[in-house]
Amino acid sequence: MARLMLVAFDPSEVALGHGFASALGIPFDVLLLSGADPAEIGAERTLAANLGDVPPADSIEDGVVAQLGGYSHIASVSSMRSKDHLPRWAAHLGAAMVTDVIVVEAENRFRRPIVAGSMIETVEVSGSPIVMTFRPSGFAKFSPNGTAAADSITIPITDRTRRVGASARGGARPDLTAAKVIVSGGRPLKDAETFERVIGGFADSVHGAAGATRAAVDSHIAPNELQVGQTGKIVAPDLYIAAGVSGSTQHMAGIKDSKTIVAVNIDPDAPIFENADLGMVGDLFVVLPELQAKLAGKF
């Protein structure tokens, strides 16, 4: 009998996974690796591991895989964490893996973007289980219709890999994958202090998230966790403001599901203008403060 295990690294991913579970159309359970059990989770069964800061992939691989037996489908939201963990589980299980699912056509047939989103391929999988990551922006929001009490479980942590430290910036800003408004910046921001003042300040004023291009991250202008794009986070906000972003193929692959894209760039020939709903040619250091003032109090 087909059954899905939805693996969530934190409670916010449970909510994001409901639409996918509904589209797949089979009963599902939830394995919540970290965080408190959200109310009305909607699954028939919830297993809460309470791992806190989820350890490196290989240190919990055996313990997680032990919870996945008997499931025909194993899925998680597309993210940097799932890209690290799920391939290991698939290899451990000898299972096929499909990444970045955006459409479910059948229990074993899915559609996913390739070539940085310029093409969509249909993948049909034979065999079981099927391990998947999915883009939540591809699925309708789903309201859970039931409640399941969480069962606490213990997942052993080995000493194969040990995290010696972690750092993140962004404070109380929403996560990029859940934000309704994202203000994103590129290499013209020049340094981390300027990025935080201009992009971070704008994001805070509209209660949004700050994002960055790969070029900005590679230049140490912005931290890695803010990278948006094919090799970063896939986002789908109501409003995406791109300042000093040229619009590379890999970046556009990460923002194409945004409802409205506003681009600010001094180069009138920047590729991003081909995909923007609203484009403004000008110096971002002049345009952004004016735009920020006009949007003040709107969100």
Name every residue whose Cβ is closer than 8 Å to that of residue 274 and which is 6 or more positions away in sequence.
Answer: 247
Residues making up the chain, counted from first to last: 299
Q: Domains, the chain, ranges and CATH?
A: 4-152 (3.40.50.620), 181-295 (3.40.50.1220)
Instruction: Specify the pLDDT at position 201.
Output: 95
Phi, psi of 113 (to 5 degrees): -80, 145
180, pLDDT greater than 80: yes
Q: How confident is the model at residue 161 (pLDDT cuts 50, 70, 90)?
A: confident
Q: How confident is the model at residue 198 (pLDDT cuts 50, 70, 90)?
A: very high
**199-217 mean pLDDT:** 95
Closest Cα partner for 92 from 55, 66, 127? 66
Instruction: Specify the pLDDT at position 242.
Output: 97
Instruction: Specify the pLDDT at position 287.
Output: 96
Phi, psi of 120 (to 5 degrees): -120, 130
Instruction: Specify the pLDDT at position 126.
Output: 93
* Residue 231 CB neighbour total at 10 angstroms: 15
Mean pLDDT, the chain, whole residue set:
89
Sheet holding 239-243, edge to edge: 209-212, 181-185, 239-243, 260-265, 278-281
> Does 235 or 264 have the greater pLDDT score?
264
Instruction: Specify the pLDDT at position 166.
Output: 62
- Gap between the Cα atoms of 83 and 182, Å rounded: 23
Instruction: Specify the pLDDT at position 299.
Output: 81
Question: What confidence tens digit (pLDDT) does each residue in 9-51 have?
Answer: 988 788 788 889 989 999 999 999 988 655 555 677 889 998 8
**71-96 mean pLDDT:** 94
- Gap between the Cα atoms of 298 and 50, Å rounded: 37
140, pLDDT greater than 80: no
Instruction: Specify the pLDDT at position 14.
Output: 83
Instruction: Specify the pLDDT at position 192.
Output: 95
Q: How confident is the model at residue 7 (pLDDT cuts 50, 70, 90)?
A: very high
Instruction: Specify the pLDDT at position 13.
Output: 84
Q: Is 140 within 8 Å of 24 (Cβ atoms)?
A: no
Question: What confidence tens digit (pLDDT) does each residue in 89-139 have?
Answer: 999 999 999 999 999 999 999 999 887 677 899 999 999 999 999 988 778
Question: What confidence tens digit (pLDDT) does each residue in 262-282 have?
Answer: 999 999 999 999 999 999 999
Please report, rounded to a whole number, the percentage of residues in the chain having pLDDT higher than 70: 92
- Gap between the Cα atoms of 288 and 204, Å rounded: 13
